[in-house]
Structure 1
Amino acid sequence: MDLTRLRLLVELERLGTMAAVAETTGMGTSAVSKHFAVLEREAGTQLLVPDGRRVRLTPAGHRLARHAVDILARADTARAELAGEGAPVGQVDLVSFISVAGPIVLPAVRRLQSDHPGIDVRLIEHEPDEALELLQSGTVDLGLVYDYSLVPRRFPGTLTLRPIGTEPLLLSQPSGGAATSRIMTRRRLSGAAESSWIANSRGSDEDELVRRMCAGAGFAPRIRHRIDNLEVVEQLVAAGMGVGVMPKLAAAARRGVVHSPLGDLGGTRRISLASSTGGWSWRPITLLARYLWEQARGVLDDTAPTPPVSGGAEVAGDPEPPPG
Structure 2
Amino acid sequence: MLQSTKSRVGAGLLGLLVVALALWWASRPADATQASAALSSVATSAGARSLQGTVPDGLSLPSALNALPGATATGGLDYGGLKRLFDYYLSTVGEQSVDTIAQQIRTELDKTLDATRAEAAKRLLGRYLNFKGELVTLEKQFAKQPPGAKALRLRFDAMQTLRTRFFNAEEEQAMFGLEDAADRDALARLDIANNPQLSAAQKREHLAVLDAAMPKALREDREAPRAVIRLDEMAQALRAQGGSEDDVFRLRAKALDPAAATRLAEVDREEQAWKSRIAAYLAERNRVLQSLANASETERQTALDALQEAQFSASERPRLAAYTP
TM-score w.r.t. length of structure 1? 0.18
If asked which structure has higher relative contact order (CA below 8 Å, sep 6+), I would say: 1
Which structure's residues are more often strand, by fraction? 1
Which structure's residues are more often helix, by fraction? 2
